[in-house]
Each structure stands twice: as structure tokens, then as C-alpha cells.
Amino acid sequence: MAYRCGNREQKMLLPPSVEEYIAEDAPVRAYDAMIEAMDLEVMGIEEDGGKVGNPQYHPRAMVKLWTYGCSYGFRSSRKLERACHYDLSFIWLMGGLKPDHKTISEFRRKNKQALGRVLSQTARISLDMGLISGNVLFMDGTKLRANASLYRGWTQEKCERELSRIDGQIETLLTEIGLEDEAEAGEGSLVHLQEELKDQERMKDRIREVLGRLQEDGGTWLNTTDEECTRVKGRQGCHAGYSGQVVVDDEHGLVVSSDVVPEANDTQQFVNQLEQARETLGRAGKVAVADMGYVNYERLEAVDRDETTVIIPSRTQARRKEVDPFDKSRFVYDEETDSYECPLGHRLEFGNEARHVKERHYYGGKTCRSCEHFGQCTTSRSRGRKIRRFSFEGLRQDLERCYEEPESQEIYRRRKARVEHPFGHFKRNLNAGYFLLRGLDGVRAEMSLMAASFNITRMITILGVPTLVHALQER
């Protein structure tokens, strides 16, 4: 069987322009059209070609480079520089411009907040095109590593421990210096010991500064490499990181908003992320769905449930465990008498109100001692069974009833298929289980670019490149 062999010396008649190198249905054309449709001034990027001085690369071209590069997982300026030289789609996108990595990196450094708004622009364009309905919104979070080591994290206890250790080393060095000084006076052999002593003193000053900041801010942990990150626990154990948040629309699975927060869990994020989605959509979503990690009833009280239906399971509902016969949910509250009735019909009367906490306590009293289930329901002989009623108890019961409705169950089953898709794309396709930049502005810009590239990829899948490009150009 014959083989096909290449010939590097073969003369070729190439197309006369770069435009002809890229097919009409190439994905890069969709990215180009999307960025052309964006309003850079709203993003915070000034377009002024009349400035004096050395010409700079057009900011719209640099936004295109960062957004399209992110779709390939190119999140470093050196990879983007290399792509501008050797990748035809990048050469077409940049019109033959070849910025070096320092220029590319500097643009990102100066426009972190603007790049953090790329997703919101993409989402608003998708909304105008009817690809986002905003009726049902799913939210979820994922842990992403920060560009910092966990060993650079400090607590007050660690600071005090290290200061004690350094004091011991300094005392040892002073002793050695004294002995060397007596034995070898005038020979200049104490230089290395004196330098080591200075290093220990400098380290001590830095640790004191960190300790002072922890005490002043009331913080429990501070990383000296990336001061805005936190300590999170993921599947690979504890590490310095952030919590990435997304809100996804149910219509086509497009990301409405994204955020990065220095939190180890999602309990404080439901209202914040819902408000960001509202800013993008211009109105509140009809239904908002999240998992039990977002349960914080004191925060959920701020949601207008007449405007937005909240579907979120309680921890008991999410774990799907059989309810104990004497679980709190088996006790019925009587608002008129301000008391609870146990499964056997006995009354639990109001006892006291907890200090500093919005909760009330109810006790069964002496009745519990004579109950046939004493020892199983409670073992307290003095007060009997104790029930805690929180100020948000009514809200919790309403949300539990809403979650159990058949329509809510059907919506909740779609949650994983929608909201987990972007995270899978980030971590598997883009290899972005970690951030390259430091600080909230930097990591939010990275998250926005990844989410925007995911949206454009989804739009290409839904409409196809020629249709999408035409729709963007006709806006």
C-alpha cells in the first residue's frame, strides 16, 4: 500500500488575504462578532484613537484576544503571544497584530474590573436575542484554588508560636556570637552569624505585622501571598482558595452572572448572587433554585417570595433520611396558645427565650417523665423534651412545603444538568481548577472570561456560527 508523504519544499499558491484563511463557520468568527457587539464604555474601557503618544493596541482587539484565548484554556500572556504568531485563527482575530506577552499582561492588569464585566455584556446580548428567559435561575458554587500556598496562611496561634521559636533562635545566635567573639576577636568570622541574626529579626518584624493585622481586623486566618483568599476544603483536602459562584438560566443553560467570593461555604451567597443576576436581567427571576449549601434562613428572609419563588431543600430533605418518630418536625405548633403538641398529644409550654439569639424554648415538663417514651424522646427529668423555635420557623416550613411540590421537584431535578455544566467545562475542558491571578479583582476577571467563553460556545452549539454572527451583526 502506498503512503502519502509531505513535501516541505512544495511551492503553493496561498490566499491573497488573511480573511480567506478562516472558514465562514469557524468559531473564532462568533467570538469576533460578540466582542464587536459589546459596549466597551459600559465595561469601563475607554476607546479614544485621538490620544497623543506611541500608538497602542486597540482595546477591543485585546478583549477579543483574552476572551477567545480563554476558550482554548490559554489564560497566560505567554501562551497568547505564541498563539498570535502560529495559530491561524488568532492571527485572523488580531488582524495580523502580534503583541508581546508583557503588553498582553499589562492590558489585563490595567483592566481587571472591565474584563470582569465581559460576562454581563454577553448575558445581556443573549437576553436581547431571546436565548435567556430569566424565568428559572439555578445557582451553585465550586471551590477553586488560589495562586497561593496554604503554608503562607497565618493564624494568631501560628504567629505566636513562630515568634516564640524565633526568640529561641535569636537567643542561641547571641550566645554563639558571644562565644565566637571571645575566641576569634578581630578575625571577622562573625559576619555569617550577624547576617543570620538580622534575617531572624526581619522575620520577626514581618510576623508581628501579620499578628497585628489579625488582631486589628478580628480575622482568624490571613495568607501573606494572596491576602484576599481564604482557607477552603475541597476534594483534594484543605488549600488556599476562593468560592466561584454562577447563576445559570434554565432556557439554554447560559450563565447569567458569575462571582468569586473569599468564603469557605455558600451560606451567605443566595441573596447576593440573586441580586447580581437581577442587575444583568433588569428584573427578578420568577424561580430561584439552589442546593442545601445555600440554606441560611436569616438571609433568605430578605428575598421577596411574592416576586421570586425559592426552591431550596432543608438539610433534612436533602439528606433524604427517614425522619425519627420524635423528630422536631413531628411536633405541631399552635400559634393561638403559643405551645407545641407532641406526637402523643401532650403539650410543650413556652419556657424561656434564648439570649442574643432569635429563638424560643418550649418544654414538656413533668408530663414527659410519666410518658411511655421517656428515655427515647428525652432523658431530661426536670424540664422534659425541649423544642427550639426560631424566628424564621415559618419561613423554613414554607420553603419545605414549596420544595415538596411536584412542580418544584421537576424543576429541581434539572438543576444539576444546568448549573454543573459550566463548572465541568471550566475544570475539565479549560483545565481551570485554579486561578492564575491574585486578589478579588483578578480572580473575578478570570471567572468572567471563562463564563463568557462558555456562553459563546453554547450559543454556537444552539445557533451555529453563521446564524449567530448574522444575529450579532444585525443588533
Task: Render each residue's pLDDT in the chain as its tens digit; 475 residues.
Answer: 678 777 778 777 777 788 888 999 999 999 999 999 999 999 998 877 767 778 889 999 999 999 999 999 999 999 999 999 999 999 999 998 999 999 999 999 999 999 999 999 999 999 999 999 999 999 999 999 999 999 899 988 888 898 888 888 878 877 776 766 555 555 555 567 677 778 888 888 888 888 888 888 877 889 999 999 999 987 778 899 999 999 999 999 999 999 999 999 999 999 999 999 999 999 988 999 999 999 999 899 888 888 999 999 988 888 877 778 888 888 999 888 889 999 888 899 888 888 767 888 988 888 898 898 898 899 888 888 998 888 888 899 899 999 999 999 999 999 989 999 999 999 999 999 999 999 999 999 999 999 999 999 999 999 999 999 999 998 7
What is the value of pTM for the model shown? 0.88
The confidence score (pLDDT) of residue 291 equals 93
Tell me how far CA of residue 403 lies from CA of 131, 301, 327, 398, in angstroms: 27, 16, 19, 9
Buried b (16+ CB within 10 A) or exposed e, 180-189: beeeeeeeee
Segment (H or E) for 226: none
Choose among 50, 128, 64, 138: nearest CA to 94.
64
Element holding 144 (H helix, E strand): strand 136-145
Neighbours of 49 (CB within 10 A): 7
Q: Which of 164, 58, 155, 156 is nearest to 107 (CA)?
A: 58
Of 158, 145, 149, 144, residue with least CA distance to 223: 149
Residues in the chain: 475
Which pLDDT value is given to residue 317? 86
Distances (CA, A) of 422 to 141, 247, 329: 11, 10, 37
Phi, psi (rounded to 5 degrees) for 81: -60, -45
Residue 187's pLDDT is what? 52
C-alpha Rg value of the chain to the nearest Å: 31
Q: Quick one: cell of 98?
A: 502580534
Residue 358 grid coordinates: 432569635
Total Cβ atoms within 10 A of residue 468: 22
> Cα separation of 178 and 196, whole Å?
14
Q: Which positions ≥6 away from 430 have C-beta within 8 Å?
A: 70, 71, 73, 75, 450, 453
Kindly state the helix (H) or strand (E) to which residue 149 belongs, with its residue range: none
pLDDT of amino acid 305 = 87
Distance CA 350, CA 102 (A): 69
Q: Which residue has the cell 482554548?
A: 72
